[in-house]
């Protein structure tokens, strides 16, 4: 299976966009340092696995049902992305954090990070509505292709979250507390969500 550049770019945009996992990883980096932020990033990545398993079951349905069902799912995904864009513009102080007491052990950090991503509503919808777009409708091994894309998505998540955590630990509040920087970040993430929504609406199986 050949991985498309479109898949890599789409995954990167979604992973980079501020979500609960990013927030926790950055917060850990700000309050506890680089090492603990890497642990948080690993926990958030592990929290993706349950959503991947659910998405693989949904993939089988998509490949064996009508085009109408696929289109309905596509519209739902686009609407949700527009909602995420609106939330990115509306949310205030998204990168402002306080230290979390009692979160300095590896077990606690990983456990909390897994729970954060486990209950993140963005993940299952993204995985189910987007990953199948990058799998050929003529493939004879859709599940294997899904596993490969899932592994790449998790690797991107791990690396990006670690970069977030390292940056937060290094820069601390000198950058993250500047209102102008946060304002432009929210705008960039919102534009990314809108672009993904448009791409999804005009995509095909």
- The mean per-residue pLDDT over the stretch 48-76 comes to 69
pTM for the whole thing? 0.66
Tokens describing residue 67: 């085009």
Q: Residue 144: which H helix or E strand, with range?
A: helix 142-171
Site of tokens 């432009």: 184
pLDDT above 90: residue 156: yes
CB 113 within 8 A of CB 47: yes
pLDDT of residue 98: 47
pLDDT of residue 165: 92
Under the banding of pLDDT at 50, 70 and 90, the label for residue 141 is: confident
pLDDT of residue 96: 45
CA 180: distance to chain centroid? 24
- Among residues 95, 110, 88, 100, the alpha carbon closest in space to that of 39 is found at 110
Instruction: Give the lowest-confidence range in 88-102, 105-119, 169-183.
Output: 88-102
pLDDT of residue 97: 44
pLDDT of residue 46: 92
pLDDT above 80: residue 44: yes
Task: Give the Cα separation of 107 and 34 in Å (integer).
Answer: 16
pLDDT of residue 159: 96
Tokens describing residue 9: 């770019």
Note the residue count of the chain.
Answer: 205
Helix (H, G, I), strand (E, B) or coil at 172: coil
């Amino acid at each position: 299976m050949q991985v498309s550049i479109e898949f890599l770019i789409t995954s990167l945009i979604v992973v980079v966009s501020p979500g609960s996992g990013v927030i926790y990883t950055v917060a850990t980096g700000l309050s506890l340092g680089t090492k603990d932020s890497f642990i948080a990033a690993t926990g958030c990545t592990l929290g993706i696995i349950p959503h991947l398993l659910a998405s693989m079951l949904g993939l089988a349905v998509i490949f064996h049902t009508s085009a109408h069902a696929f289109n309905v799912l596509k519209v739902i995904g686009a609407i949700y992305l527009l909602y995420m864009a609106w939330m990115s513009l509306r949310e205030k102080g998204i990168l402002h954090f306080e230290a979390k007491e009692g979160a300095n052990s590896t077990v606690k950090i990983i456990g909390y990070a897994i729970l954060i991503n486990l209950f993140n509503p963005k993940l299952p919808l993204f995985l189910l509505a987007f990953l199948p777009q990058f799998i050929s409708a003529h493939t004879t091994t859709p599940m294997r292709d899904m596993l490969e894309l899932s592994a790449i998505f998790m690797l991107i998540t791990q690396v990006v979250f670690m970069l977030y955590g390292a940056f937060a630990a290094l820069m601390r509040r000198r950058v993250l507390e500047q209102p102008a920087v946060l304002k432009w970040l929210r705008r960039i993430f919102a534009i990314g969500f809108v672009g993904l929504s448009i791409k999804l609406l005009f995509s095909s199986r």
